[in-house]
């Protein structure tokens, strides 16, 4: 045995070393395999949890959009329609003209001309106010929905440490959500008071030929000719006139002036309300609502949103002009129609913009514009990773 050991002990050591190393490597491999398996199981569970959360977030986000589209927007549009009809009521002008036609001696020639001129201005003002309101409210409410979606994501992510169920996570307070969406009524309640005179001023400048186009976007430097009642309007003249009024309107006042018509200056008042409350939860509630409003104001004041507004207004003017061609008859408006005959149709189209079924169609047109879709896609996706 000693002789055998003496001759083969080196081989025995090498063999034991090889087997020992192999066993050690196997144990290391097995331990690593177990850890990887456990990690894969954990990652799989986290992925399932994330998918569940994403599904729940998407369901809630879609419910907010449904509320905005089916409840908030129709309610706001209906109230806005009533306010515009009330503030731009043309019946007293038409009744006086009809009365003057039946009784020629009741109105002088200058009085008739003055009434027709006023009817011309207010008819265009009503149409352009409706175009502006439909476009801006559609975009504004969509911004609100995206802001809510952003906060839903953030609040849910913060709640994941203590819960894997969306219902148990700390989400936006329902009262905050309702108040935030209710701010879409601001244009109807207060914004129109300042908007309508601005639209009327832009209309007067264009129709009376006082507007010089220097500084207007995509318009050559020239002076508009005064639009007389006997002037013939064809589809191109009508489109150019509407576009000139829109361009004049958009350069009047401060940059991003539309923000002041769409939402109130709530920050100071809301801070006062929050500080006067003795409850810490009320302070948190107020701060949350205030944050939603500040973020919305930042989006509306951005250059990207201004570009979307410009594209949307131009597209809607184009659609309205096409609808006017259909309403008047393609041959009539293509060949030209006296402005006096066109004025009643312009006033009626301004009212139809805010009423069913045209309201849904125009809003759908705005939202289907590629630049608008891209803007809201980037708005939502960018804020999610910020």
Phi, psi (rounded to 5 degrees) for 139: -70, -40
How many whole angstroms separate alpha carbon 134 and alpha carbon 128?
10
Is 48 within the bounds of a domain?
no
In the chain the first and final C-alpha atoms are separated, in Å, by 77
Has residue 52 been placed in a domain? no
Question: Distance (Å, rounded) from C-alpha 192 to C-alpha 83?
Answer: 8
User: In terms of Cα–Cα distance, which of 211, 191, 319 is closest to 257?
Assistant: 191
- Domain presence at residue 173: yes
Give the CA-trace dihedral at 202, 207, 211, 217, to 10 degrees.
Answer: 70
Q: Do 143 and 302 meet the contact criterion of CB atoms below 8 Å apart?
A: no
Asked if residue 20 belongs to a domain, the reply is no
**Radius of gyration, CA atoms only, the chain:** 33
Tell whether 26 is covered by a domain: no
Residue 223, SS3 per DSSP: strand
Smallest CA-to-CA distance from 224 within 202, 242, 238, 241 is with 241
Q: Is residue 14 part of a domain?
A: no
Q: Each residue's pLDDT tens digit in the chain (386 positions)?
A: 677 666 667 776 677 777 777 778 888 888 888 888 888 888 888 788 778 777 776 776 677 677 677 777 888 888 888 899 899 988 888 888 888 776 777 788 888 888 888 999 999 999 999 999 999 999 999 898 888 877 776 666 566 545 544 444 445 667 777 788 888 889 988 899 999 999 999 999 998 864 444 333 443 334 445 667 777 888 898 999 999 999 999 888 777 888 989 988 755 444 443 344 444 444 444 577 888 888 899 999 999 999 999 999 999 999 999 998 888 876 677 778 888 888 889 988 888 888 765 567 888 899 899 999 889 888 876 654 44
345 within domain boundaries: yes
* Residue 23 domain flag: no
Those residues with Cβ within 8 angstroms of residue 42's Cβ, 6 or more apart along the chain or in another chain: none
- pTM, whole model, 2 decimals? 0.75
| Distance separating alpha carbons of residues 57 and 65, to the nearest angstrom | 12
Give the range of the structural domain holding residue 162, as residue numbers without chain letter.
59-385
Number of domains into which the chain is organized:
1
């Amino acid at each position: 045995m000693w002789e055998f050991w003496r001759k083969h002990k080196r081989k025995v050591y090498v063999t034991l070393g090889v087997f020992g190393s192999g066993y050690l490597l196997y144990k290391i491999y097995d331990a690593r395999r177990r850890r990887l398996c456990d990690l894969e199981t954990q990652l799989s569970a986290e992925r399932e949890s994330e998918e569940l959360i994403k599904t729940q977030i998407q369901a809630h986000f879609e419910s907010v959009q449904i509320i905005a589209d089916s409840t908030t927007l129709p309610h706001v549009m209906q109230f806005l329609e009533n306010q515009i009809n009330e503030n731009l009521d043309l019946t007293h002008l038409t009744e006086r003209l009809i009365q003057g036609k039946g009784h020629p001696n009741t109105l002088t020639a200058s009085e008739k001309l003055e009434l027709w001129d006023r009817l011309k201005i207010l008819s265009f003002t009503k149409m352009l106010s409706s175009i502006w309101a439909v476009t801006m409210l559609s975009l504004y409410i969509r911004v609100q929905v995206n802001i809510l979606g952003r906060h839903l994501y953030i609040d849910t992510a913060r709640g994941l440490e203590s819960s894997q169920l969306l219902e148990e996570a700390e989400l936006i307070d329902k009262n905050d959500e309702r108040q935030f969406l209710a701010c879409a009524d601001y244009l109807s309640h207060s914004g129109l008071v300042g908007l309508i005179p601005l639209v009327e001023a832009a209309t007067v400048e264009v129709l009376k030929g006082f507007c010089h186009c220097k500084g207007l976007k995509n318009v050559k430097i020239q002076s508009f000719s005064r639009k007389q009642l006997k002037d013939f309007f064809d589809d191109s003249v009508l489109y150019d006139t509407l576009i000139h009024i829109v361009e004049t309107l958009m350069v009047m006042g401060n940059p991003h002036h539309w923000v002041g018509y769409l939402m109130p200056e709530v920050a100071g008042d809301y801070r006062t309300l929050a500080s006067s409350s003795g409850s810490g939860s009320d302070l948190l509630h107020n701060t949350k609502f205030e944050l939603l409003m500040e973020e919305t104001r930042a989006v509306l004041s951005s250059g990207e949103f201004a570009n979307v507004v410009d594209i949307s207004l131009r597209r809607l003017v184009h659609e309205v002009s096409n609808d006017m061609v259909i309403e008047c008859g393609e041959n009539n408006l293509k060949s030209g129609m006296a402005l006096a005959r066109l004025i009643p149709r312009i006033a009626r189209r301004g009212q139809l913009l805010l009423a069913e079924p045209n309201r849904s169609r125009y809003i759908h047109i705005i939202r289907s514009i590629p630049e608008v879709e891209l803007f809201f896609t980037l708005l939502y996706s960018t804020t999610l990773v910020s």
